[in-house]
Amino acid sequence: MSVLETTMTKPANRKPSSATRTTNSVIQAADLQHLFDALKKRGFQILGPHRRDGAIMYDEIHSVSDLPVGWTDEQEAGTYRLKRRDDMALFGYNVGPDSWKKHLHPPVVRLWHATKGEDGVQLIDDTPQPTKRAFIGVRACELNAIAIQDRVFLGDKFVDSQYATRREGVFIVAVNCGQAGATCFCASMGTGPRADKGFDLNLTEVLDTGRHYFLVEAGSPEGIAVLAEVPHITASPEQAETANRVVTETTLQMGRKLDTLGLKELLYANVDSPQWEQIAQRCLTCGNCTMVCPTCFCTTVEDVTDLSGQTAERVRKWDSCFTLGFSYIHGGSVRVSPRSRYRQWMTHKLASWQDQFDTSGCVGCGRCITWCPVGIDITEEASKMRQETSSEA
Amino acid sequence: MDGYETILAELHFLKGMEKEHLEAIADCAAYVRFQKGQFLFREGEFAHRFYMISSGKVALEIFTPGRGPVTVETIEDGEVLGWSWLFEPYRWHFDALALTDITAVGFDGLCLRGKCDANHDLGYDMVTRFSQVITARLQATRLALLDVYSSQPDMPIVSKG
Amino acid sequence: MTATITAPHTHTVAHPSPMLPKLYTVDGVRQETADTFTLEIKPPTGELCPRFLPGQFNMLYIFGVGEMAISISGDPWWRSSCVHTVRAVGTATKAICNLQPGDTIGVRGPFGTSWPGPELLGKDVVLAAGGIGLAPLRPTIYTILADRNRYGRVNLLYGARTPNDLLYTDELSRWRDRPDFNLAVTVDTADRGWFGNVGVVTTLIPKIQFDPANTVAVICGPEIMMRFTIMELQKRGITSDNIYISMERNMKCAVGLCGHCQLGPEFICKDGPVFRFDHLDGLFGKREL
């Protein structure tokens, strides 16, 4: 079940998307810059994909020309390369090592700082003011990942103020994927490739002989308002159908599959499986998977002071359950062996997450497969486990 | 020890023992008393007895250089003290100090070994009962070995995880 | 000393950060043993300590050093100050134990689940404490003693490393003197001069009286100690749904957001630290889980 079909916690000032669905529109590719302009005029900082360091990363961008126009990515277990396309598609690639959690749940955040003086100790909350930001190019899997993190940070016993303030008022321009990568399996997870909720605008790129346009759906009143400032026409049935076909074809291209039936029970039942040791023979416990995963949220906290001892800060940083110190308590770490640490990550992602947050923790984006230096494939391991278990039955 | 069978039958350690066996070992039994501060036995001494404590508390001590006597276990009412009489070299391995006044039933080891040799059923019964006590004490000792309340970490500290 | 908490742009923060401590003042420090201290801390002037339930913990912060999860060890009815017993084993806990009256200490909490309360009424109660595990149990002991006739037989089993490691020795004497309270203390080893029991805490279990069909057991101590204590209690007939334990895992945030304290799907900081034993089926005692 898609996480968006369950409760998705949205910041208070957003109306539910279903009330504001409109008929589809079409924007010509040449007019897409007006979208950027409309957003800038409204004071949004635009974050979106661009090429940097041999990968497609999500950083501040200013115009359509900043997008990886005419580029694609080739991904496999342990491999990521950018390649030139033979067309000028704006969104002709899948996902890179960045995810939107970089901007909603940043890797390093100062939570508060304190000073010690004659008046005693003063504590200053460093939760920043919300700012206006627009995310361009959010894929369906990523929308689900954001919804999953909304549930973790906003929908549980304690609200994470750092996430809440960064999540507030984000304008999302989603993109339906026009191709699936070799490590993609959103279709198995029910999280894509079509985005159906949680966006302000959703684009499907159609690029074939003689035409290059975007089918646009508005998903909120804000989306409608911004769309009004971009040259567009009502989509013809043929244009809508063509865009629809693009997405349907993407669904069939998925490079990986994951059978989610009874997956939680399968993993819980396999706590003592020898397969974990087999995986551990390869796993370097490098933690790449946790860094690129759009839902992994573990952090650590460091309390630091300057040399004078007069000022102190509490800084929050991304952490990974793959580190030896992650589970340290007096007497030693609980999870010492790499076997136990890999088991923790995969069981949490696919099983315990469901008991904790009512959805799977995985959105099928395939990043963990692509960015694992030894190419460990979570879908392959799950499938192996299922076979072992049923052959024992 | 006459008429002791009834008294022995009530001792926790001998619960359920056959009357015939109780009569046999009664020959080897005697009431004993110790005063607080007395030693019931000392390490290295000839182990010719064992005790079933009726009332009081006994400390099993080992003398360690530097630290002196260390109590490793206390034995009290209803518990059995001593099994070194069962096997060669029949020597005590600990000191046993009376922490309070003690009343106990003492058994002569030589006499009891003779009875067990003559009646193997009795021998089997005694050894079974002692095995249970020894197992429980071994379990407890192993748990104590883990030193669970120690403040020292078992592995190097990894800080800032 | 006053604490001022301000936001950088003087706007109303829609969501106050759950990571911001409140500043308390150390009122008293009492040394229990060579490495264990009991701290009494007072909230800002004019405020009371927040209500807490026995078994809950606070995150205590030492300026520039760090924050530690420490169980509250005082009387839940007493709100003028908040009591914690801390063992100095690492940098942060050593810093806490070096505090002096008048020093500032940051507090977040109370967090976590609590020891059974209403579940104990009308029952025989067995409390088993190992080492510093007596500290989180003390609030429950106070609660029971404040209303003693609402409970059946009450046994407190307490094991420590040596007689010098016993906590709350004054209170132990007072509890021992009560005819309506059975206190059994044991140590792993002792020097001559100790007239109490020597042996692990599980050796006390066969010696105490309770009705297994009507008993609730509450256990707190190192995981190995809890494991063996549970086995002995189960041998005596207490069922898993009448045994409560307190689990410990690495804790950074205490508010379910950092992910460190997970045991399977359970977050020790919000689903625990106290668990009814049958709810940990398949998790407790599983190696490296």
The span from the CA of A58 to the CA of C238, in Å, is 58
Question: Taking CB atoms and an 8 Å limit, are C191 and B69 in contact across chains?
Answer: yes
Give the β-pairing of A171-176 and A120-125.
unpaired
pLDDT computed for residue C97 by the predictor? 93
Take residue A368 and report the two structure tokens written for it: 């963990």
Per-residue pLDDT, A2: 42
| pLDDT attached to residue B8 | 84
pTM of the model: 0.91
Which pLDDT score, from 0 to 100, does residue C7 have?
36
Alpha-carbon dihedral angle through residues A339, A345, A350, A353, given to the nearest 10 degrees: 130
CA dist list (Å): B85 to A290, B52, B81, B113, B139: 63, 14, 11, 8, 21
> Taking CB atoms and an 8 Å limit, are C198 and B59 in contact across chains?
yes
- Chain C interface mutation, best of A9, A111, A123, highest count of C Cβ atoms under 10 Å: A123
> Per-residue pLDDT tens for B101-149?
999 999 999 999 999 999 999 999 999 999 999 999 999 999 999 999 9
**What is the biggest distance separating any 2 CA atoms in chain A, rounded to whole angstroms?**
74
Which residues of chain A make contact with C4, given a CB cutoff of 8 A? 122-123
User: Does the beta-carbon distance from C130 to B148 stay under 8 Å?
Assistant: yes
What is the percent of chain A with per-residue pLDDT over 90, rounded to a whole number? 88
pLDDT band at B4 (very low <50, low <70, confident <90, very high): confident
What's the pLDDT score for residue A1?
A: 37
The dihedral over CA atoms of C196, C198, C202, C207, expressed in degrees to the nearest 10, equals: -40
DSSP helix/strand/coil, B70: strand
A134 close to A46: Cβ distance less than 8 angstroms: yes
Amino acid C13: pLDDT: 54
Would the CB atoms of C17 and A112 count as touching at under 8 Å?
Answer: yes
**Per the structure block, which two tokens stand in for B122?**
């009795």
Q: Are C273 and C112 contacting, i.e. CB atoms less than 8 angstroms apart?
A: yes
Digit-coded pLDDT (tens) for C23-51:
999 999 999 999 999 999 999 999 999 99
Token pair belonging to A95: 């996902």
Q: Give C253's contacts in chain A (Cβ within 8 Å).
A: 299, 301
Task: Name the closest residue on chain C to residue B36, using Cα atoms.
Answer: C195
Low-confidence residues in chain A, pLDDT < 50: 1-21
Beta carbons within 8 Å of B50's beta carbon, 6+ residues apart: B80, B81, B82, B83, B85, B106, B107, B109
**Token couple for A138:** 């959010």
* Per-residue model confidence (pLDDT) at position A152: 97
Which three-class secondary structure string do you get for B103-156?
EEEEEEHHHHHHHHHHCHHHHHHHHHHHHHHHHHHHHHHHHHHCCCCCCCCCCC
Residue C214's alpha-carbon distances to C145, C209, C227, in angstroms, are 19, 12, 21
Q: Would strands C124-130 and C215-220 be described as parallel, antiparallel, or unpaired?
A: parallel
10-residue averages of pLDDT along chain C (289 residues)? 35 74 96 97 96 98 93 96 95 92 96 98 98 98 97 98 97 97 97 94 95 98 95 96 97 97 97 97 91
pLDDT at residue B155, rounded to an integer: 53
Q: Which of A108, A301, A327, A328 to mutate to test the interface with B (most CBs of B within 10 A)?
A: A328
Q: Is the ipTM of this complex over 0.85?
A: yes
Q: Strand locations in chain C, DSSP E?
A: 4-6, 22-31, 36-42, 57-62, 66-71, 82-87, 104-111, 124-130, 154-160, 182-187, 190-191, 197-198, 215-220, 243-246, 262-263, 266-267, 274-276
> For residue B151, what pLDDT is reported?
77
Q: How far is CA C129 from CA A48, C71, C137, C146, in A?
A: 56, 14, 7, 20
Tell me which residue of C157, C196, C162, C185 sits closest to B58, measured CA to CA: C196
Report yes or no: A48 and A67 within 8 Å, Cβ to Cβ.
yes
Quick one: which of C6, C120, C17 has its CA closest to C59?
Answer: C17
* Confidence band, pLDDT 50/70/90 cuts, at residue B10: confident
Q: Phi/psi class of residue A292: alpha, beta or left (left: φ > 0; alpha: ψ in -120 to 50)?
A: alpha
Judge: A127–C15 Cβ closer than 8 Å, yes or no.
yes
A268: its two tokens: 């819980």
Alpha-carbon gap: A269 to the closest alpha carbon of chain B (Å): 29
CA–CA gap between residue A18 and residue B76 (Å, rounded): 76
- Tell me what the pLDDT averaged over chain B comes to: 88
Contacts of A289 (CB under 8 A, 6+ apart): A296, A322, A345, A367, A368, A371, A372, A376
Task: Please report the DSSP string for C15-80 in residue order.
Answer: S--TTPPEEEEEEEEEE-SSSEEEEEEEPSTT--PPP--TT-EEEEEETTTEEEEEEB-S-TT--S
Q: pLDDT tens across B35-89, in order? A: 999 999 999 899 989 999 999 999 999 988 888 899 999 999 999 998 888 888 8
How do residues A34-65 score in pLDDT, each as one tens digit? 999 999 999 999 999 999 999 999 999 999 99
Contact A141, A96 (CB under 8 A): no
Check A333 against B158: CB less than 8 A apart: yes
Which residue among B70, B100, B150 places its CB closest to the CB of C191? B70
Q: For residues C287 and C266, give the distance between their C-alpha atoms in angstroms, rounded to a whole number.
A: 16
Strands (E) in C225-284, as ranges, are 243-246, 262-263, 266-267, 274-276
E strand or H helix at A37, and its extent? helix A33-41
Nearest-angstrom CA–CA distance, A239 and A254: 24
CB A208 within 8 A of CB A385: no
- CA dist A158 and A164 (Å) reads 11
CB C221 within 8 A of CB B146: no
